[in-house]
Amino acid sequence: MRQLQLFRTLILRPLRRDLLRTALTIISVALGVGVVIAIDLAGDAATGSFRSSLETLVGKTDLEIVANGGVDERWMAALTALPVNARFAPVIEMQGVLKPAGSVTVYGVDFVSQGPEARAATPLARDPNSAIVVSSGLAQRLGLKEGDHLPLTLSDRTQNFEVAGIADAKDAEFILLDIAEAQRALNQYGRLDRIDVFVSPHEDFSRVEREVRVTLPASYRLEKPGTRGEENQRMLRAFRWNLRVLSYISLVVGAFLIYNTISVSVVRRRAEIGVLRAVGASRRWVLRLFLGEALLFGLAGSLAGIAFGRVMAEGAVGLVAETVNSLYVSSRPAAVALDPSAVAAAIAAGVAVALFSALAPAREAMHVAPVEAMGRGAHEHHSRTHARRNLFWAALAAIIAVALSQARPIDDKPIAGYAATLLAVVAMALAAPAVVTGLAAGTRGASRALFGPEGLLAVRGLAASLARTSVVVGALATAIAMMASVGIMVGSFRETVIVWLDTQLRADLYVRPAAHAGAGEHPALSAEVPGLVSAIPGVESVDIFHALEFEYEGRRATLGAGNADIVRRYGRLRFLPGEDRDAILRSLAGRNRVIVSEPFANKHSVRVNDVLNLPLGDRLVKVTVAGIYFDYSSERGFVIFDRSTLLKYLPHLPATNLAVYVRPGADPASVRHAVEARLANYRVTVAPNRALRQNAVTIFDRTFAITYALEGVAIAVAMLGAANSLLAMVLDRRREFGLLRYLGAAPAQLRRMILLEAGFLGIAANLLGLALGFVLSLVLIYVINKQSFGWTIQFHPPFLLLAGASTLVWLTTVLAGIYPARAAARLNPIEVIHEE
């Protein structure tokens, strides 16, 4: 009770009196917590649930039979003949494009079986080949009813379908198609994507599993439903981890600000604390008092952060979904839902950060001796900062950081790398006081010569309140370092990708089905298309490319096949240093030799001349890795055959892309028109080289939009901190400003002085931040990115961008000084000089 009342008078009342600063601190915590929540919620929503929406209609599947390159439908007969009480349902899954609704999942199912999927299709339309069943959710959204006609694009063709039935599947959205029609559309006769197994509740599940296993070839997999979803989540884990870590940076910046706020609160109340101690307050009690203040900030900030986060998540979900779709797997974002566990975690993080950052100043308060109550000039208490000792700890932290950056990933996550970045930030924060004093001493003469007495006073004032100054500089520097490091990483990555695109994209035209949806989707080209294109005059050669999603050692990757000879002749692909491209490419044709992309090699620890056991169709194939090439298009990784080899194992594999090389001297534009005209009946896109490149860069930029947004928030938090601290400084140095007025300072001189201090803070923060940023960018590029995604980024710092951004941050710091500067100039000198 007593404590609560004292908490009110000692902590709450001053907070209320200083409403602006209180609000700034709470807002900065709220922003930090909000970003963490937003990224978590947006990540959940963007990756959606990977559960098959077909389940809403047919019920839970017990087993799924899958195989690389598809399941041969001949096995259906053998399976249905098994003496088990189970139902086997063939499924083909693809993405179709519906004019009004956009991309939609289409399932090819057996319309003449006994399952609920077939029952939904009765009464059958007059022409079963052009009949579809629409799920109730989709029908409702588009206002469809039985008998309506719909144009649906599958792979490279659009066809008019009649709605034969509406399947009751709650709000799930999908379309059912007869399986034969689906195979025709995918140009995959005789192949299934999977066979769903439904085991009767009266049947022994493991017996069914055993029977099925022995019936099928060893290269086939029996998966529990949900395996695929888990696989997707796992694939996205590194991506989400990195995003999440990035989202915590604002909170780290916020930690500096809480530290600052509590420090101010302690410094101002030293005499008060002394009195309390003199009248009998215990040390623990004083500690609790200030931790209570921090708790208040943490709780208030976190609660406000939930609302912030919810709103920001709506904005973030689109950005995250875009990245997920272009780099990983097609998914449709779900609605943002406020997940209680995410909220609880964020509140816990906010409160923990608040308490942790308040620990040092609260302990300082605890050690205030009762005699300080008698000390008249609390203001003359000069803060003891141990610049030199801190420098030692900074060096130690830096050394440990370097050691950690050499460590291997743990559970696929660059944990040690993250720890190294955090330690680097700590090292910077510890070095900040020494840097500020050094800078102040070094620039004293210059700033006095340049800015006169205001310059001298500004530099001296900052050095005098070193403890506070270093915290603000630390917070700003962290935000700047984050901006610089991510900027360098993204800039380097972008440059690397652009250079890579140059070698990668050598053909003049690229042809692919229009229904292409996202990563992991490889719609087929009709069988006759490559021939049609090759026959066009002006076309020199056509590289026919086959891509399909496959699984290797439990991870999804892309299996591809092209014409190694064409690739070699046009100088495509760049291999790791020391590998001879020509020799590698020459060695592929007709042999069990493959090349793999760098991310694949890193993920599976594969080296040149290693032998991979690839399950392909009904067989297990041993292939030798002939070379490892650079690739930045997908972190899932590629395994590339020569066509001649892959078609031997998967003879029905349809082509998915064409790379068209124009004869020298022929006009690429007119060849393109000829190709478009020839393929007018197919839904394909014919993209010229330049468009594809531009598109790749656009996707790249959109992928990193979220990163820039996160940086923006961290910078905003740091700005709030700068304004907050400058304001605190003005309040604390009121007497000094009053005195200066007595000594003949004009109000404009005081304003200038504060702005100079803000400018000096900005410069110190920029110096430290840029230095730290360069170090962090090395960790990001060579440790975190490499370990998370498996690709090597070349170091290309975007100097111009960095210079621009740091100037902008510097200007904003000065701007943050405007309000405090005005406040200082408006003080009444008589009042402040006489108050104690």
Partner 1 sequence: MNPPRLELRRASKTYQTNGQKLEALRDVSLVLEPGTITALVGRSGCGKTTLLNLAGAMDFPTSGEVLIDGRDTSSLREDELTALRRTRIGFVFQFFQLLPALSVLENVELPLLLAGSQKAREAARNRLEWVGLVDKVNSFPYQLSGGQMQRVAIARALAHSPEILIADEPTGNLDNASGEQVLALLSDAAGRFGATVLVATHSAEAAAIAHTRVQLRDGRIAAFERA
Q: Which residues bind partner 1 (CB under 8 A)?
A: 376-377, 379-380, 382, 452-453, 456-457, 460-461, 463-464, 735-736, 739-747, 749, 829-830, 833-834
Nearest to 68 by CA among 433, 547, 467: 547
311 vs 830, beta carbon nearer partner 1 = 830
Q: Least distance in Å: CB of 437 to partner 1? A: 12
Return the half-sphere exposure (C-beta side, CA atoms, 13 A cut-off) of residue 520: 22
544 vs 740, beta carbon nearer partner 1 = 740
**Tokens found for residue 262:** 């509590």
472 vs 515, beta carbon nearer partner 1 = 472
**Tokens found for residue 633:** 């298009």
Cα distances (Å, whole numbers) of residue 245 to 236, 242, 428, 573:
14, 5, 19, 33
Q: Rounded distance, CA 502 to CA 416, Å?
A: 34
| Residues across the chain | 836
Is residue 224 within 8 A of residue 65, CB to CB? The reply is: no
Amino acid code (one letter) for 554: G
Q: Tell me 383's DSSP state.
A: -
Q: Least distance in Å: CB of 383 to partner 1? A: 11
Q: Least distance in Å: CB of 382 to partner 1? A: 7
224 vs 826, beta carbon nearer partner 1 = 826
Q: Least distance in Å: CB of 498 to partner 1? A: 52
Q: Least distance in Å: CB of 797 to partner 1? A: 38
Q: Least distance in Å: CB of 741 to partner 1? A: 8
Please name the residue that has the structure tokens 């001493």: 441
Residues 6+ apart with CB under 8 A from 432: 470, 471, 473, 474, 477, 764, 768
**Three-state secondary structure call for residue 109:** strand
Q: Rounded distance, CA 719 to CA 807, Å?
A: 14
Q: Rounded distance, CA 32 to CA 35, Å?
A: 5
Cα distances (Å, whole numbers) of residue 361 to 270, 289, 297, 355, 415:
11, 11, 15, 11, 30
688 vs 829, beta carbon nearer partner 1 = 829
- CA-angle at 770, arms to 765 and 774, nearest 5°: 150
283 vs 382, beta carbon nearer partner 1 = 382
Q: Rounded distance, CA 548 to CA 158, Å?
A: 22
413 vs 444, beta carbon nearer partner 1 = 444
Q: Least distance in Å: CB of 828 to partner 1? A: 9
**Tokens found for residue 716:** 């905003």
The alpha carbon of residue 387 and the mean position of all alpha carbons in its chain are separated, in whole angstroms, by: 37
Nearest to 258 by CA among 361, 345, 343, 346: 361
Q: Rounded distance, CA 824 to CA 745, Å?
A: 12
443 vs 644, beta carbon nearer partner 1 = 443
Q: Least distance in Å: CB of 316 to partner 1? A: 45
Q: Least distance in Å: CB of 818 to partner 1? A: 20
419 vs 739, beta carbon nearer partner 1 = 739
Q: Least distance in Å: CB of 826 to partner 1? A: 12
Q: Least distance in Å: CB of 428 to partner 1? A: 25
537 vs 744, beta carbon nearer partner 1 = 744
454 vs 635, beta carbon nearer partner 1 = 454
378 vs 498, beta carbon nearer partner 1 = 378
Q: Least distance in Å: CB of 742 to partner 1? A: 5
624 vs 749, beta carbon nearer partner 1 = 749
Q: Least distance in Å: CB of 451 to partner 1? A: 11
Is residue 241 within 8 A of residue 788, CB to CB? The reply is: yes
676 vs 732, beta carbon nearer partner 1 = 732
- CA-angle at 322, arms to 316 and 327, nearest 5°: 130
Q: Least distance in Å: CB of 361 to partner 1? A: 21
179 vs 821, beta carbon nearer partner 1 = 821
Contacts 24+ apart (CB under 8 A), 391-396: 391/430, 391/431, 391/434, 393/430, 394/426, 394/427, 394/428, 394/430, 394/431, 394/434, 395/427
The reply to whether omega before 123 is within 30° of 0 (cis) is: yes
Q: Least distance in Å: CB of 381 to partner 1? A: 9
Contacts 24+ apart (CB under 8 A), 810-813: 810/759, 810/762, 810/763, 810/766, 811/762, 812/715, 812/719, 813/476, 813/719, 813/722, 813/758, 813/759, 813/761, 813/762, 813/765
Concatenated DSSP letters of 633-695: S-TT-EEEEEHHHHHHH-TTPPP-EEEEEEPTTS-HHHHHHHHHHHTTTS-EEEEEHHHHHHH
**Tokens found for residue 228:** 């695929």
